[in-house]
């Protein structure tokens, strides 16, 4: 049985007061011991606050990016060991907004994954095609390129204790969702690509879907055999929505 993960990506949103009321609302609904990991990935300045509110509860936390370097003259970077000091268990790596807006390459994303794993974090490695790439029939080629960068950097065994997020760029923040069948097809392709290197790692690897996941569509997408939960943007900022999405992954 693969573990399931529902992670919220707050992106560049939040405030001390708003975070507190959102997290307190989540804490009322998410039990301490639960079979589906519930995670919030927050802007780094809020990690101390989030840790104080969530320590010992059933919600894990993480950051949205990590440096590929551990320390040194790298102005503006935040390293994986620093995230560990703030109790992070997860970190997003290679989100399409990092790739497209901040010019992060496949190779840099893979190096960030390695840095996160070496520090003991669970990286959530994001892959996905743009609309133009899908229209040109290049979805699988793009996913292969992104996944292969990771396999080359770290090997299939390095994907143990990691998570992959399939986030078609055209579905992020647009209200358009991949159909359950489209999501499953992409997830199965990613799993097979990794499975060609190591079948056991691929079989155990959680692959979550991201891109306009809402309470209204989560159950249908999460019911697909190769979909192991979700990475949720906008809807993770609304407690009732995020809790309902997490419950959909529980299957009830």
Site for ligand 13P in 59-88 (CB under 6 A): none
Cβ nearer to ligand 13P, comparing 61 with 156: 61
**Token digits for 66?**
């990590």
Map residues 218-247 to x or -, x wherever contact with ligand 13P holds by CB under 6 A. -------------xxxxx------------
CA distance 226 to 203: 10
Alpha helices in the chain (DSSP H): 16-29, 47-54, 80-85, 96-101, 106-118, 131-135, 139-154, 180-195, 199-204, 215-222, 239-250
CB of residue 140 to ligand 13P, shortest distance in Å: 21
Select the residue interacting with ligand 13P from 129, 133, 167, 226 (CB under 6 A).
167
Residue with tokens 């519930």: 38
Q: What are the residues facing 218 on neighbouring strands?
A: none
CB of residue 117 to ligand 13P, shortest distance in Å: 20
CA dihedral 197, 119, 13, 25 (to 10 degrees): 100
CB of residue 196 to ligand 13P, shortest distance in Å: 27
Residue 237 DSSP class = G
Confirm whether 167 is a catalytic residue. Answer: yes
CA distance 1 to 24: 31
Map residues 4-43 to x or -, x wherever contact with ligand 13P holds by CB under 6 A. -----x----------------------------------
Question: In a 10 Å sphere around its CB, with 0-12 CB exposed, 13-18 middle and 19+ buried, how is residue 149 labelled?
Answer: buried
Q: Which stretch binds ligand 13P (CB under 6 A): 71-79, 155-163, 165-173, 195-203?
A: 165-173
Binding of ligand 13P by 217 (CB under 6 A)? no
Query: Active site residue: 97, 129, 167, 241, which one?
Result: 167
CA distance 17 to 21: 7
Confirm whether 29 is a catalytic residue. Answer: no
Select the residue interacting with ligand 13P from 172, 194, 239, 249 (CB under 6 A).
172
Which residue ranges make up the site for ligand 13P (CB under 6 A)?
Answer: 9, 95, 167, 172-173, 210-213, 231-235
């Amino acid at each position: 049985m693969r573990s399931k993960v529902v992670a919220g990506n707050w992106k560049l949103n939040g405030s001390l007061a708003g975070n507190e009321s959102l997290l307190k609302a989540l804490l009322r609904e998410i039990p301490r011991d639960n079979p589906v990991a519930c995670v919030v990935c927050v802007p780094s300045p809020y990690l101390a606050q989030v840790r104080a509110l969530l320590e010992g509860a059933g919600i894990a936390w993480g950051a949205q990016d990590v440096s590929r370097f551990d320390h040194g003259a790298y102005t503006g970077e935040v390293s994986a060991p620093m995230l560990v000091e703030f109790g992070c268990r997860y970190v997003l790596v290679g989100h399409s907004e990092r790739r497209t807006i901040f010019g992060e390459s496949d190779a840099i994303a893979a190096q960030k994954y390695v840095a996160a794993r070496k520090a003991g974090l669970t990286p959530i490695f994001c892959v996905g095609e743009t609309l133009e790439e899908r229209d040109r029939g290049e979805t699988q080629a793009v996913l292969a390129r992104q996944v292969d960068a990771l396999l080359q950097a770290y090997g299939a065994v390095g994907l143990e204790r990691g998570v992959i997020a399939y986030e078609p760029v055209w579905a992020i923040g647009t209200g358009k969702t991949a159909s359950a069948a489209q999501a499953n097809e992409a997830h199965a392709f990613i799993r097979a690509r990794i499975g060609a290197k190591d079948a056991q790692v691929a079989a155990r690897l959680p692959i979550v879907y991201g891109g306009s996941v809402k309470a209204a569509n989560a159950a249908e997408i999460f019911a697909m055999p190769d979909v192991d939960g979700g990475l949720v943007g906008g809807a993770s900022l609304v407690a009732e929505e995020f809790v309902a999405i997490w419950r959909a992954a529980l299957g009830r």
